[in-house]
Amino acid sequence: MEMDLVISVRRDAAVPIIDLAGEVDAYTSARFREAMIDLIEAGAANLVVSMMKVEYIDSSGLGALVGGLKRSTEHGGKIVIVCDNPQIRKVFEITGLEKVFPLYDVEDDAVGVLVANDGKGK
């Protein structure tokens, strides 16, 4: 069964959270990258990407994330990921991207890190 990607955006403590559900692959990664860039260009440099409902991610999906991170960093922001799926986390570990993207099991922890670092202590 081919699965599409559902992308929804919500705000928690003024940090946008991109909820992904389904597969982040060659067919869906462009929409995901556009969603991140639209938010960043609208002034939200910090993003939480929730992959709690992601069943599969390939190199295209990882490339979209890296592209989003590049744009976020240019605007002084960060992207953090929420994911408790061991298979998805393993993809980040194998590629070394767990060193680039902070991974959290709990959304509140991810949001808390961005809110704590947003304009404070500089």
Going residue by residue through the chain, which has 122 residues, state the pLDDT in tens, using 9 for 90 and above: 456 999 999 986 779 999 999 999 999 999 999 999 999 999 999 999 999 999 999 999 999 999 999 999 999 999 999 999 999 999 999 999 999 999 999 999 999 999 887 654 33
Question: What pLDDT is stored for residue 116 in this prediction?
Answer: 82
Question: What pLDDT is stored for residue 50 in this prediction?
Answer: 98
Say if residues 30 and 47 touch (Cβ distance below 8 Å): no
**What's the order of all strands across the beta sheet hosting 47-57?**
5-12, 15-24, 47-57, 79-82, 103-104
Domains of the chain and CATH, by start: 5-105 (3.30.750.24)
Q: What contacts 102, CB < 8 A, 6 or more positions away? A: 78, 80, 81, 110, 113
Question: What pLDDT is stored for residue 61 in this prediction?
Answer: 97
- What gap in Å lies between CA 57 and CA 32, rounded to an integer? 12
